[in-house]
Amino acid sequence: MPHLVPRPTILQTAESILRIERSKWIYHERALAKSLGLSIEILRGFVKSIGSSGGGPPPYDAAIDLNSGEDNILNLYRLQHGKKMTHAIDSEEPSLDHAVTGLNTYYQIGRKEIRDKRINIKVQIDLIKMVTGTHAALDQFGGEYKTKRQEIWKDWVEGSNPVLSALYEHDHLPYIVLHYYRYWDVTIPPNTTVTAVSSTVLELVKQEIVDLLVKMFVIPSSAMEQFSVLRRSTRNSVDMEIEPTNSRKRKHSPVSEDNSTSLDDDDDDDYEEEETESGADGNVDLTKAMSIQLDKGELKKLWTDGEYKRVGCLEIAAKEAHAGNDLPAANSKITMLGGTAISIAEFDAIKSIKKSILGRKIKNFDDLKEHINSGLPGDLFHIGKNQIVLEYVNHGLRYTKTSGECLSQEIHFISKHNNQKELRLDCAHMIRHIIICYDISLSKSSSLLKASSEGLQGRVPYHL
């Protein structure tokens, strides 16, 4: 007959929780169970018991509400986050799905007054997505860069492949360090550049990231054991040159010799001045890359390639930098309008451009607005001269199906002024979105042309 391990009592479990390692990170419930040496069923049973009647000896004989957020004798706080799914993730093995998919239960340890106020579950999930290459913000760097991070992050964590580990630490980790600089235990000055991040800082941050991945049940706890000794020699032993992110991006999107994307003559002079301006902090390449993105031709190319939000984010970042404002001010405006936050490295690069030159580059957005309006029919849906590009883009994109709003069947209404049919505002924006955001020729698409024509005339197409 197999030997049965006795089920721990409420008192034993409570004492184990009080002895558990304190961490600034919030635990996934399965990671907490592993840390306590319990099965997930026993942990859930314990939480249910103390939440209903206590069920243990004093002081655990009264119910303890772990969901209220108020201090309790266990210093344990339960929360749930995510969207409920049809098929719950119930695997016993750690995986990325546990952290970023579905509705999950988490636990925070420590009294409120001693908790790290910077950390919440949304920050942790956002950071994990960035580390593992699944974050939407990485789309701006191109699919190849995002895919590569997804492929090599585990090799970097485990140290199983020196070449890929070095690639991650050279080409990915410094940007993560700076993007989330306010969340690390190591102090990183806000104006630090990518090239100025030391190997010691990279290693310390790596330990924090691995600890987070363990606490969120993405990787097994055994991964932390690999961190008993610093492994900087791995990085130094690889004889290879790894290009910085932005220089590789420039290779994928070279400036065309065509007049529509060529650099102005005075832009070449700007680069020489900018190199002198930014050379002191060793970030000349990134400064040049950001300066190129602010050129007339490159802005038009980004717009033509469908990078509408990227263009809008660049405008706000450039104007805020020129005004002497800081990154939080810029990103506050950007995120409020549905854009993706600008990284510290990119914002610092923009700020390092000589102010007079940056002022001239900001005027390129006025040319871009004229370019956008010139491609629109008549006077419909034009962007205002003083309107922010991201506001203009977001206002149109809010009417797409992917944003949760669909074209109404009732596409017209009766005007109070002349009792004639008028196109509904949301339908007008949908047609505007089709014209601006998709490379579709209405003259070549009979069904789309018919639907648009009927909509403008106030008739309801049967297939909408």
pLDDT score at 284: 60
State pLDDT tens for residues 265-296. 334 334 334 333 433 444 567 888 888 889 99
The answer to whether position 169 is within a domain reads yes
Q: Which range has the worst mean pLDDT, 15-19, 98-102, 274-278, 288-292?
A: 274-278
* pLDDT mean over 225-237: 44
Q: Which range has the worst mean pLDDT, 86-90, 192-196, 243-247, 304-308?
A: 243-247
Q: Helix axis angle, 121-132 relative to 143-158, nearest 10°? A: 100
252 and 375 co-located in one domain: yes
Are the beta carbons of 141 and 286 closer than 8 angstroms? no
103 and 72 co-located in one domain: yes
- Measure the CA–CA gap between 10 and 55, rounded to whole angstroms: 7
- Measure the CA–CA gap between 151 and 52, rounded to whole angstroms: 45
**Last residue of one domain, picked from the residues 236, 256, 287:** 236
By residue count, the chain amounts to 464
Q: Which residue has the tokens 């977001």?
A: 394
229 and 263 co-located in one domain: no
Are the beta carbons of 185 and 208 closer than 8 angstroms? yes
Distances in Å between the Cα of 61 and the Cα atoms of 55, 71, 75, 410 are 5, 17, 16, 61
More confident residue, 461 or 362: 362
16 and 112 co-located in one domain: yes
**Last residue of one domain, picked from the residues 79, 101, 116:** 116
Is residue 366 very low, low, confident or very high in pLDDT (cuts 50, 70, 90)? very high
The answer to whether position 135 is within a domain reads yes
The per-residue b/e assignment along 350-359, b for 16 or more CB within 10 angstroms, e otherwise, is bbbbbeebbe
Report the SS3 class of residue 331: helix
109 and 127 co-located in one domain: no
- Measure the CA–CA gap between 311 and 432, rounded to whole angstroms: 18
* pLDDT mean over 350-377: 89
* pLDDT mean over 199-227: 84
pLDDT score at 89: 63
pLDDT score at 280: 40
State the residue range of the domain holding 419. 398-457
State pLDDT tens for residues 179-203. 898 889 888 876 788 888 888 888 8
More confident residue, 116 or 463: 116
66 and 137 co-located in one domain: no
Burial of 446 (0-12, 13-18, 19+ CB in 10 A): exposed
Q: Which range has the worst mean pLDDT, 202-211, 217-226, 282-291, 404-413?
A: 404-413
Is residue 436 very low, low, confident or very high in pLDDT (cuts 50, 70, 90)? low
Are the beta carbons of 272 and 296 closer than 8 angstroms? no
The answer to whether position 67 is within a domain reads yes
- What residues are paired with 423 via a beta bridge? 412
- What residues are paired with 77 via a beta bridge? 108
- Measure the CA–CA gap between 205 and 185, rounded to whole angstroms: 8
- Measure the CA–CA gap between 383 and 255, rounded to whole angstroms: 26
Q: Which residue has the tokens 């550049």?
A: 193
* pLDDT mean over 86-100: 70
What single-letter amino acid sits at 315? E
C-beta neighbour count of 228 within 10 angstroms: 7
The answer to whether position 463 is within a domain reads no
State pLDDT tens for residues 159-181. 778 888 888 888 889 989 988 98
* Among 208, 205, 147, residue whose Cα is nearest residue 174: 205
**Last residue of one domain, picked from the residues 94, 116, 138:** 116
Is residue 255 very low, low, confident or very high in pLDDT (cuts 50, 70, 90)? very low
pLDDT averaged over the chain? 75
Q: Which range has the worst mean pLDDT, 57-71, 332-346, 352-366, 375-389?
A: 375-389
Residue 300 pLDDT > 70, yes or no?
Answer: yes
210 and 282 co-located in one domain: no
3-state helix, strand, coil in the chain (%, to 5): 55, 5, 40
> pTM of this prediction?
0.50
